[in-house]
Structures are given as structure tokens and as C-alpha cells.
């Protein structure tokens, strides 16, 4: 469980380059919102196990009713930083991520979908600009030139993503190619300066929008995606798209 090169990460007492002195290990908290992901969560944890530092905290915030919790329990020995939060009053993915942020103890936070569509190796690339102190929030983007082809997305999903990202870029004066990807990272300090209010998928766009409004530095890094192989999407595309567009406009207007 080691990777080398820039933004070096080692398991155990890992060292890092960047603004944080290597003696102060910078702890990651990876927040995984899950809703009935018993078929996918095992693969997601295996991927995290292979790529995140050995002392990373991994918070699974489970709002569903299936066996996700049991599968997580089977991973406890291999992932000492694994924490399972049974989210009984779950009101949506945004609510689950807020709970994860409240519980997180790391200096750097990331969100990572449980459905296996993203790759944990990309978390290393997202964390690097935060560790170097160059960014406060980093968005994973499926639509940059270097991004692995998103064969996963249907045309309606891709179009919806482009419309929402374009609208947010226009309103907030910064080009963002993919505000909706379920892989993002931010510093705990940034989290303290952004007040998130959205319970559902609107929170995805709320993070960069409120960060820009707070004067924080928001960057993006190309990521790869693949089609969901296990479980089911929870997103009704058109209704969610409209809600996200309305919310983006509201954030701009101070709501
Ligand atoms: N706790 C919690 N997690 C959720 C909820 N809805 C979705 N999630 C999780 O959030 C992640 C993303 O959900 P998906 O349904 O795959 O949505 P998506 O990835 O944005 O959209 P697709 O392109 O359809 O896959 C998955 O890990 C889900 O299990 C919810 O209501 N509560
Ligand atoms: Mg998904």
C-alpha cells in the first residue's frame, strides 16, 4: 500500500511533501455517503485500502436499510481508521456529507462515492494541491482533457452536468467543468468557513459556490470514471437537474 512520486504518500507513519512539515502527519478523512450499497461498498473499501494512507480515517455514513453495515464491519481489521456511522435520520446525500464533516478529525477531507464509479488513486491527486497549500477546495472533474472517458454517463446525465457546471461557472465567475462529481476534497479549515445547508444533491454545487463566495481558492483535477457495476443510481436526472440549477441561482443571490 504505497505510492511514490510527487505528493508522496506512504502507509503507516507516512511522510508528505508540501507546506505541512512531515513530522506532523496530515491526516485524511474520507467521507463515503452510502445508501443501500451492500453490493458496491466492499469494492470501494478495497480500492481505498489500496490507495489512501494507512492512517486515513474513512467514515461511511450509511442512510440505507440493507447489509452495508455488515460489509463495512468485515473491513475493520484491514482498515484501522474505518468508522461506520448509521445515519438513522438520513435526509439525503448532502445531509450525510454534513454529518461526515462534523465527525471528521482529519486536517484534509475528501468525499468519495460508495458506488465504485470513481477511483481512489485520484484522491491522491486531489489532496496534493491542498497539501501544498495551493488550494482550499479541489473538485474532481470527469470532463477535462486528461479525464478518463466517462463511458458511464448517459447523454442526459452528461448534458445535465455541462448545463449545471456552465451555469455555476457563469454565476460565480470561475470556469468549473464538473461541479457534480462525487469526488471532491477540501481542508478542514475551508469546511469551517462554508456553511452547507442542502440535504440532497444540491450540496455538490453548494460546496464550490459557497467556497468562492467565501473567497476560498477552488481548483479542479482530472479524474477517471467508470459505469456503475453494482447497485442502483439514486438520481432522477431531470428533477435533480432543475433543483440543482435553482439552488445554484439561490446561492448566488445570497440564499
Ligand atoms: N447517506 C446517503 N447516501 C446517499 C443518498 N443518496 C445517494 N447516496 C450515496 O451517494 C453516492 C452517489 O449516489 P448515486 O446514486 O450513485 O448518484 P450519482 O453518482 O450522483 O449519480 P449517477 O450518475 O446516477 O451514479 C452513492 O455512494 C450513494 O450511495 C442518501 O440519500 N443518503
Ligand atoms: Mg454514482
- Give me the pLDDT at residue 96, please: 98
Helix (H) or strand (E) holding 110: strand 108-112
The alpha helices in 36-182, defined as continuous H runs, are 41-51, 68-74, 93-103, 121-131, 155-172
β-pairing verdict for 82-86 and 57-62? parallel
Q: Please identify, by atom number, the ligand 1 atom nearest to the C-alpha of residue 233.
A: 15
Residue bearing cell 484501522: 80
Pocket of ligand 1 (CB under 6 A): 33-35, 37, 61, 63, 87, 90, 92-93, 96, 113-115, 117, 157, 182, 228, 233-235
The model's pLDDT over 155-197, given as tens digits with 9 standing for 90+, comes to 778 888 999 999 999 999 999 999 999 999 999 999 999 999 9
Cα(66) to centroid of ligand 2, in Å? Answer: 18
Q: Which of 67, 110, 113, 162 to mutate to test the pocket of ligand 1 (most atoms within 8 A of CB)?
A: 113
Sheet containing 183-187: give its strands across: 82-86, 57-62, 28-34, 108-112, 183-187, 137-141, 218-222
- Through-space distance between the first and last CA atoms of the chain, rounded to whole angstroms: 44
In the predicted model, is pLDDT for residue 13 greater than 80?
no
- Give me the pLDDT at residue 236, please: 76
3-state SS of the chain: helix, strand, coil percent to 5?
35, 15, 50
Annotated domain spans of the chain: 11-252
* Side-chain-facing half-sphere of 13: CA atoms under 13 Å: 4
Question: Whole-angstrom Cα distance, residue 82 to residue 103?
Answer: 12
- Give me the pLDDT at residue 244, please: 97
Question: Whole-angstrom Cα distance, residue 167 to residue 75?
Answer: 41
Cα(109) to centroid of ligand 1, in Å? Answer: 18
Q: 11-252 — its CATH code? A: 3.90.550.10
Helix 203-213 vs helix 237-252: angle between axes, to the nearest 10 degrees?
20
SS3 state of residue 59: strand
Cα(168) to centroid of ligand 1, in Å? Answer: 21
Q: Whose CA is nearest to atom 1 of ligand 1?
A: 63
- Give me the pLDDT at residue 152, please: 59
Cell numbers given for 185: 476534497
Cα(77) to centroid of ligand 1, in Å? Answer: 26
Cα(75) to centroid of ligand 1, in Å? Answer: 21
Cα(24) to centroid of ligand 2, in Å? Answer: 34
In the predicted model, is pLDDT for residue 80 greater than 70?
yes
Question: Whole-angstrom Cα distance, residue 78 to residue 113?
Answer: 20
β-pairing verdict for 218-222 and 137-141? parallel
**Least confident segment among 7-11, 215-219, 240-244:** 7-11
> What percent of the chain has pLDDT above 70?
88
SS3 state of residue 28: strand
Highest mean pLDDT among 143-147, 148-152, 197-201: 197-201
Cell numbers given for 27: 491526516
Q: Which of 93, 99, 157 to mutate to test the pocket of ligand 1 (most atoms within 8 A of CB)?
A: 93
The model's pLDDT over 90-124, given as tens digits with 9 standing for 90+, comes to 999 999 999 999 999 999 999 999 999 999 999 99
- Give me the pLDDT at residue 23, please: 43
- Give me the pLDDT at residue 153, please: 65
In the predicted model, is pLDDT for residue 37 greater than 80?
yes
Amino acid at each position: 500500500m504505497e505510492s511514490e512520486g510527487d505528493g508522496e504518500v506512504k502507509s503507516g507513519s507516512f511522510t508528505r511533501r508540501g507546506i505541512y512539515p512531515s513530522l506532523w502527519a496530515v491526516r485524511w478523512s474520507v467521507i463515503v455517503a452510502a445508501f443501500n450499497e451492500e453490493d458496491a461498498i466492499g469494492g470501494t473499501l478495497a480500492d481505498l485500502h489500496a490507495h489512501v494512507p494507512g492512517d486515513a480515517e474513512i467514515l461511511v455514513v450509511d442512510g440505507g436499510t440493507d447489509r452495508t453495515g455488515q460489509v463495512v464491519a468485515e473491513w475493520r481489521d484491514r482498515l484501522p481508521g474505518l468508522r461506520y456511522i448509521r445515519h438513522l435520520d438520513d435526509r439525503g446525500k448532502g445531509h450525510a456529507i454534513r454529518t461526515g464533516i462534523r465527525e471528521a478529525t482529519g486536517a484534509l477531507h475528501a468525499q468519495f462515492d460508495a458506488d465504485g464509479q470513481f477511483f481512489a488513486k485520484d484522491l491522491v491527486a486531489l489532496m496534493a494541491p491542498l497539501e501544498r497549500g495551493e488550494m482550499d477546495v479541489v473538485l474532481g472533474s470527469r470532463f477535462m482533457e486528461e479525464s478518463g472517458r466517462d463511458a458511464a454517463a448517459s447523454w442526459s446525465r452528461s448534458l445535465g452536468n455541462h448545463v449545471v457546471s456552465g451555469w455555476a461557472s457563469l454565476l460565480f465567475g470561475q470556469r468549473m467543468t464538473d461541479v457534480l462529481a462525487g469526488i471532491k476534497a477540501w481542508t478542514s479549515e475551508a469546511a469551517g468557513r462554508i456553511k452547507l445547508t442542502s440535504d440532497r444533491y444540491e450540496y455538490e454545487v453548494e460546496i464550490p459556490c459557497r467556497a468562492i463566495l467565501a473567497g476560498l481558492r477552488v481548483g479542479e483535477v482530472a479524474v477517471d470514471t467508470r459505469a456503475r457495476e453494482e447497485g442502483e443510481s439514486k438520481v432522477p436526472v431531470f428533477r435533480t437537474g432543475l433543483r440543482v440549477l435553482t439552488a445554484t441561482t439561490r446561492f448566488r443571490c445570497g440564499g
